[in-house]
Structure 1
Amino acid sequence: MTHVVSDNCIKCKYTDCVDVCPVDCFVEGPNMLVINPDECIDCAVCVPECPANAIFAEEDVPADEQHFIALNAELWHAPGWKTLTKRKAALPDADQWNGVPNKLEHLQR
């Protein structure tokens, strides 16, 4: 079992979740975070910390976002994606993108 970062993180990349993660399982890409499924201990402390409500337990990922399970598993070890261990500023226009649906086309790999 793991937790999954979903669509609403794209173009927001709030990092409140990173500060509370006891195992440093968040990985940062250009405009999204993902969770390393091999490191996540399923503690769920990150879920309430996400201002974008973009983190779900794997079994709770909405039906229309199931593809984010595989996407997290793929991107956590993508070239240039690095483990993030400390909170940093969200993207400059994060508040404008928060809640915008179907942002996968904007994902920067």
Structure 2
Amino acid sequence: MKDEIHSAEHLYTIEVEGRNVTVRDVMVAAFTYRIKLEELLGSPRQVAHCYRLWRRLERLDEPPMTRLDIKYATAWRDAHAQAWQVAQVFLTDPHTKTFVLRLAAP
């Protein structure tokens, strides 16, 4: 199940993956996770940008990144950890579920 961004620019969705995903998991927990990410990182565009850089940083075959890119990538990691802490309390079973950000197709 997923909580989609509803805006002129559909940049990403937040999905809840795991066992027995409920409406509450999606409507409350995923929504809270998304809102916290945007609160910490900025606009949906900035969330997507930081996430892309984090994914790039994880890949070994990518060219070197600038210090600013690394800063944004680590900002994603930190924001994800904080958003997880805030939102996981709304999951029906946080031990069997996780949030997954899926970027929209370019």
Q: TM-score range by the shorter chain?
A: under 0.3
Length-normalised TM-score, structure 2:
0.27
| Larger fraction in helix | 2
